[in-house]
Amino acid sequence: MLTYDQDGFRRADRPHRIVSGALHYFRVHPDLWEDRLSRLRAMGANTVDTYVPWNFHETVPGKADFTGWRDLGRFLRLAQSLGLDAIVRPGPYICAEWDFGGLPARLLAGETLRLRCSDRRFLTEVDGWFDQVVPELLPLLASAGGPVVAVQIENEYGSYGNDTAYLRHLEQGLLRRGVDCLLFTADGAEDAMQQGGMVPGRLATATFGARPAERLAVLRRYQKTGPLMAMEFWIGWFDHWGEDHHVRAVEEVAGSLDELLAAGASVSFYMAHGGTNFGFWAGANHTGSRPGERGYEPTVTSYDYDAPIGEAGELTPKFHAFREVIGKYLPLPAGPLPEPLPRITPALATPAGTASLLSGLDVLGGEPVLRPAPEPMEALGQSHGLIHYRTTVTGPRPAMPVRIDGLGDRAYVFADGAPLGVLDRNTPDEGLDLAVGEADVVLDILVRAQGRVNYGPLIDDRKGIRRGVRHGHQQLFAWEIRPLPLTDLTGLDWTAAATATAAATATTPAAATGTAAAGPVFHRFTHVLTDAPADGFVDVSGWGTGLIWLNGFLLGHYDTQRGPQRTLYAPGPLWQNGDNEIIVLEMERPGTELPLRDRPDLGRPTVVTLQ
């Protein structure tokens, strides 16, 4: 058991220092869990720290899955077999640059439920989650012989709110269900954040990336005695689309680590190994104060985080620098360091057909639902993907702008099948001129959802169209809506012409600007792998923006129009000896080649200095 007294942590009734690293099982292919955990242990860590994202496990509303990639127990037992304790952070909110901070999208189906507070309806949902996740944890607690020595009550709550009744409900909910290990809170090393997030009588910890002495002094004001712990010591940073790739100077962050450990503190690196935001799981930030303001910033697919263990398991210079520092304070594990994993032989994937998305609506989305006004995808039971809206605009009428109120996140607009242009949530006042002749016009709007905001006051981030569509000042009603979750692409017709709308675009404003020139199109590629499956990287630098699947698995988003990331990580377990299928859904600017690389390109690096 892990306990603490006025002098610090104790493990098996001996003085103990935690040197932990965050490593999220949900960002790593399960066949690679043991490899990544072994690298964490080789760095000198004695503990692994992981969140548990509610929305990743809730595959059916109200029912959690803990099998396969979601087998939390298997991950934690692997950690224990390698000599690692575990810190578990089960939410309900995790932030983590993860879609909606780990909350299930269905909580946004209505307008009145208040998140992360003692709203009775939210507490009922949280209790349902705890009823499912805590039984998974109980046999893994240290008291039962398992690796879990500590469980977090909520995550950086002081950065969001100050509802003490909510925090007490979470604390008591864990205790009532049998969690008997150390409980703790983690908040920024600022007075307001500690005040809002701490739970009296429970261990308070801090999250920061620099100036350890100053940050620990703030924490000591609230954790009066006992151990001081940096529960998140930010040793790198994450990237948004449209930014450079963030890195932190090795010497600077290793020096801060040395200072922190020399002060007697414990630490958990955020991240020790970042991994990948596969699928639709990447989150987003919003720098504005209101939903309609410019400032939505989706997170990229890679979560490399400039961590000591790279996205594909690389042992970076930061790994070796950290290991040297840790070795000054703790004994390092014996034996050689893990070897690099094999990489695929660079090659070009072979084109094997195209399919128009708009021509495949019935296959991808089935029968449309009819609504008087547009509704967001959550109201229709959809969590991720695209969503399609269709209505008819009567004529004649002069050119007037089509505008979308409450767009989440990027809309491709078509008039009688011809691209009219693109609208983006960061430019909410922009419109696309549409004139209607004597005949009516069928207006199609295809909305691409990216990550839900995962941090700050605007986490209630609904996708699709939240409010309405106007032509001029007139609200447009009578809509057909098709959710397009893109979970099954097997029905696509690869023999159909993918450019049915392309001829109509040559004289449109969209074609003149290079925007949505041919409409969204699926591009199919194949690659015959003659060697053993190994890690690879799909090079999308010649493409615009969209999504990529490998053998039916969604690798994630790409957006080389904005950057920085130019390759997507394709881990070895997703490849197969022989034929492999890669599908690219290009939304705006199709490429001509799809190279497969043996190394990543995460974009131009820029050094960040945390305050």
The active-site residue, picked from 58, 125, 156, 378, is 156
DSSP string, 315-347: B-HHHHHHHHHHTTTSPPPPSPPPPPPPBPPPE
Q: In this structure, are residues 37 and 84 in contact, taking their beta carbons and an 8 Å threshold?
A: yes
Residue type, 171: E
Pairing type for strands 464-471 and 474-475 reads antiparallel
3-state secondary structure 583-594: EEEECCCCCCCC
**Active-site residue, 438 included:** no
CA separation for the pair 115, 163 (Å, rounded): 11
Find out whether 41 and 333 touch, Cβ atoms under 8 Å.
yes
> What is the distance between the alpha carbons of residues 206 and 55, in angstroms, rounded to a whole number?
25
CA quadruple 272, 274, 275, 278: dihedral sign: positive
Q: Could you confirm whether 251 is annotated as catalytic?
A: no
Structure tokens at 446: 């295809």
- Please name which of 385, 366, 368, 295 lies closest in space to residue 105, comparing C-alpha atoms: 385
Q: List the structure tokens of 536.
A: 């690879």
Among left, alpha and beta (phi > 0; psi -120 to 50; other), residue 549 is: beta
Amino acid at 481: I
Strands (E), 362-490: 369-371, 386-393, 397-408, 410-415, 418-424, 432-436, 441-448, 464-471, 474-475, 479-484
DSSP 223-291: S-SS--EEEEEE-S---BTTSPEEE--HHHHHHHHHHHHHTT-EEEEEEEE--B--TT-B-EEE-SSST
Pick the catalytic residue from 97, 125, 232, 311: 232
Between CA 271 and CA 49 the distance in angstroms is 9
SS3 label, residue 161:
coil
**Cβ–Cβ < 8 Å for 57, 66:** yes
- Listed in sequence order, the residues at least 6 apart from 68 whose beta carbon sits closer than 8 Å to its beta carbon are 30
**CA-wise closest residue to 72 among 60, 80, 61:** 80
* Placement of tokens 């360091």 in the chain: 337
Is the sign of the CA dihedral 543, 544, 550, 551 positive or negative?
negative
Residues carrying an active site annotation: 156, 232
